[in-house]
Amino acid sequence: GLSVGKRVRSFQHVPFAAPILFTLKKGGGFRMCIDYCALNRVTIKSRYPIPRADELID
């Protein structure tokens, strides 16, 4: 998952959304971080990937 060393605030986890947290940027702003690890584990990989353009041209 995401490192929580400089975590500012995390939101309540809900089963239908990826966990979100905000971290402080060096300039003082905020960066929104989303942890898609759980979604990536259940995503079905494409069996037939889209071919590259150079493979389609003779």
Tens place of pLDDT for every residue, the chain, 58 residues?
Answer: 455 555 555 556 677 788 888 888 888 888 998 989 988 888 888 778 788 888 888 6
Residue 33 belongs to a domain: yes
Backbone angles phi, psi at 11, to 5 degrees: -100, 160
Q: What is the pLDDT of residue 57?
A: 84
Q: Is residue 12 part of a domain?
A: yes
Residue 57 lies in a domain: no
- Residue 29 inside a domain? The answer is yes
Would you say residue 56 lies in a domain? no
| pTM given for the model | 0.50
Using an 8 Å Cβ cutoff, are 20 and 38 in contact?
no
pLDDT value at position 50?
Answer: 82
Is 52 inside any structural domain? no
Domain boundaries, position 36? 1-41
Q: How many domains does the chain have?
A: 1
What's the confidence (pLDDT) of residue 52? 85
